[in-house]
Chain A
Amino acid sequence: MTDKTDKIEQPSVIMTNLDKFITWAQKNSVWPFGSGLACCAIEMVATACARYDIARFGMELFRASPRQSDLFIVAGTVTNKMAPGIRRLWEQKPDPKWVVAMGNCAVSGGPFPTYAVLQGVDKILPVDVYIAGCPPTPQALLHGLMTLQEKIKTEHPTKEIFDVHARPTR
């Protein structure tokens, strides 16, 4: 007799593009490494809390180590003395990795055009998304992270498997 058990044992199949599947998994589990360098860190923490709830995007796991994270949120002023440390933290992250410059200081130096402050973190890191604001509101940060998700969606991770030259050379 044909009962329910037979139907369950039938393998269900979803046809999809592997790129789409991988990027779908990546964009919904971006684990951030929050480097809170200045007042932007407060807004970043507020975004992680229950009211704005970054967990809706699968990003609630703020890691304390760069080796366990995918996304580098540079939240705050990067001084010239701190810059080698930031660069080293980024180098310790495993691929694939993304960088978000949060706040005017990380974007361009902001209100500090001085000898002590790095004029934009894009001088030492490849930044994917810039979020303006001083500091940006949690809504702005969430919008930036959603923009990053859109960007991850357009990437082709399988290309690196077949094409040696497409792999990151760093």
Chain B
Amino acid sequence: MLDQLDNFPILKKVLESLETNFKDSILDKTFEKNELSVLIKKEDLIGVLTYLKTEQGFNALNDMIGIDNLPYAAEGKKRFSVYYQLYRFQDFQRIRIKVDTEENEGIDSIVSLYKSSDWAEREIYDMFGITFSSHPDLRRIYTPDNFEGYPLRKDFPMEGKK
């Protein structure tokens, strides 16, 4: 589906500049339903997002999404994925950055870059147990403080653990 990107010259330009600047970081790229997604290495997350924000003008973090890949563990997928949905106001462009992580690895926090990621990272920590290193205040946001387990994990029982 990546050939459809030819109809979207602005997004194609963004992807090309990403490929020239972060040649080794990009693991995969997909274009589906007019949306561009780029899978990058976890170590280069801060670098790529800083470049997209300062050089390319993607100054809004619309949302952060956590995904549990447990059903696809047989295919060799890492346990969790975190998606960053970025937006550029000038010409209404969107780009999605994906990162894969294992259960006990943790991800760099991007609160210093996008302030709006503060509560989003707390929510993902609450629901999936993914830790964000150097987050200023990483604690549960929806469930009570004494809650056990992480509800949106696929192996979490619906009635709770107690």
Contact = CB atoms under 8 A, between A and B. Distances in A.
Interface of A: 80-81, 113-116
A117 B156 CA distance: 15
B158 A115 contact: yes
B159 A116 contact: no
Contacts of A113: 158-159
B159 A81 contact: no
Contacts of B157: 115
B151 interface: yes
Nearest to B160: A115
13 contacts: A80-B147, A81-B143, A81-B144, A113-B158, A113-B159, A114-B159, A114-B160, A115-B147, A115-B149, A115-B151, A115-B158, A115-B159, A115-B161
Contacts, number: 23
A81 B157 CA distance: 18
Q: Is the interface of A mostly helix, strand, loop or mixed?
A: loop
Nearest to A113: B159
A115 B149 CA distance: 10
Category for how many chain B residues contact A: 10 to 19
A113 B144 CA distance: 17
A114 B160 CA distance: 7
Interface string B130-143: 00000000000011
Given A115-B147, A116-B151, 17 more contacts: A80-B143, A80-B144, A80-B147, A81-B142, A81-B143, A113-B158, A114-B158, A114-B159, A114-B160, A115-B149, A115-B151, A115-B156, A115-B157, A115-B158, A115-B159, A115-B160, A116-B143
B29 to A, nearest CB: 37
Contacts of B159: 113-115
Interface in B91-131: none
Contacts of A81: 142-144
A113 B158 CA distance: 8
A102 to B, nearest CB: 24
A116 B143 CA distance: 7
Closest 7 CB pairs between A and B? A115-B160, A81-B144, A114-B158, A115-B151, A80-B144, A113-B159, A115-B159
Taking each of A80, A113, A115, A116, which has the highest tally of chain B beta carbons within 10 Å of its own beta carbon?
Answer: A115
Contacts of B149: 115
A116 B161 CA distance: 11
Contacts of B143: 80-81, 115-116
A83 to B, nearest CB: 9
Interface in B4-62: none
Nearest to A115: B160
Contacts of A80: 143-144, 147
A116 B149 CA distance: 12
